[in-house]
Amino acid sequence: MKILVPVKRVVDYNVKVRVKSDGTGVDLANVKMSMNPFDEIAVEEAIRLKEKGIATEIVVVSIGVQQSQETLRTALAMGADRAILVVTDVTTESLTVAKILAKVAAEEQPGLIILGKQAIDDDANQTGQMLAALLGWPQGTFASAVVPNGDRVAVTREVDGGLETVDLKLPAVVTTDLRLNEPRYASLPNIMKAKSKPLASKTPADYGVDPTPRLTITKVVEPAKRSAGTKVKTVDELIEKLKNAGAIA
Ligand code: AMP
């Protein structure tokens, strides 16, 4: 079974995000970019399925600026076999990404597509769901366990009340949650080997998709600054302060 894993290049999760002074978006100048953490989990899961002899080939795909190549190389260094970069300079919206991925899936015919549950830059949490709808495939979102069995896959989902397991017919779309696995680090020899793994370069036009954004971001603002706290000497003083602030009756 072939597994397709879409990976997105996003601002590294350790970076403190700064809003541009004109409020049109997030400042990306000189900011460390990395693979979306949920996508690292997706790549790791695909590699584990290959190690178990269930997957035969792992194809990673990224849609974005030319530098997304680095993200794909990271996935190749972790253990993916081949990469596809769909180059575009415009902001990638979920529907555009889902349409391109649907075309890639039609070409590649994977048995499973494993995406992150959300990209930590726009927190959209919808590409996997849109992709499953466009393909007419079953979906298991927020997965904390993925167990293929013949032509089916059991996906344990993290839901509000606990865990739910759905049994899907392959081919299917799965999105990863945090507890699915702990992604490996790429070793230096594998980073070197990844440089010679195949990476195909495409454009949205190759897939007949117009990437022009349909959404307009009207304003981006920083979260409100927290005001400084004060120290109190006694519990009575604390209660008095809370009463005055209207926090308790
Ligand atoms: P989102 O719906 O934007 O929160 O993204 C959910 C998942 O879709 C991500 O974790 C990725 O697996 C995939 N994805 C979103 N945007 C892209 C992109 N530009 N290139 C590749 N994969 C993407």
Residues 27, 47: Cα–Cα separation, whole Å = 34
Q: Per-residue pLDDT tens for 28-54?
A: 889 999 999 999 999 999 999 999 999
Question: Tokens standing for 101?
Answer: 């991925």
Burial of residue 55, with CB atoms counted within 10 A of its CB: 0-12 exposed, 13-18 middle, 19 or more buried: buried
Average pLDDT, whole number, for the chain?
Answer: 95
pLDDT of residue 249: 67
Number of structural domains (the chain) is 1
Q: What is the mean pLDDT of residues 188-211?
A: 97
Q: Per-residue pLDDT tens for 111-167?
A: 999 999 999 998 999 999 999 999 999 999 999 999 999 999 999 999 998 999 999
Q: Phi then psi for 124, rounded to 5 degrees?
A: -70, -40
Examine the pLDDT at 223 and tell me if it is beyond 90.
no
Burial of residue 184, with CB atoms counted within 10 A of its CB: 0-12 exposed, 13-18 middle, 19 or more buried: middle
Confidence of residue 190 (pLDDT cuts 50, 70, 90): very high
Confidence of residue 25 (pLDDT cuts 50, 70, 90): confident
pLDDT of residue 141: 97
For residue 65, give the CATH number of its domain: 3.40.50.620
Instruction: Tell whether ligand 1 has an atom less than 6 A from the beta carbon of residue 38.
Output: yes
Cα dihedral sign, 209-70-181-149: positive
By residue range, what is the domain housing residue 74? Answer: 2-245
Pocket test for ligand 1, best of 3, 7, 8 (most atoms within 8 A of CB): 8
pTM above 0.95, yes or no: no
Examine the pLDDT at 91 and tell me if it is beyond 80.
yes
Task: List beta partners, residue 153.
Answer: 148, 168
Pocket test for ligand 1, best of 3, 36, 70 (most atoms within 8 A of CB): 36
CB 63 within 8 A of CB 100: yes
Examine the pLDDT at 248 and tell me if it is beyond 80.
no
DSSP 173-222: EEEE-GGG--PPPPPHHHHHHHTTS-EEEE-GGGGT-------------P
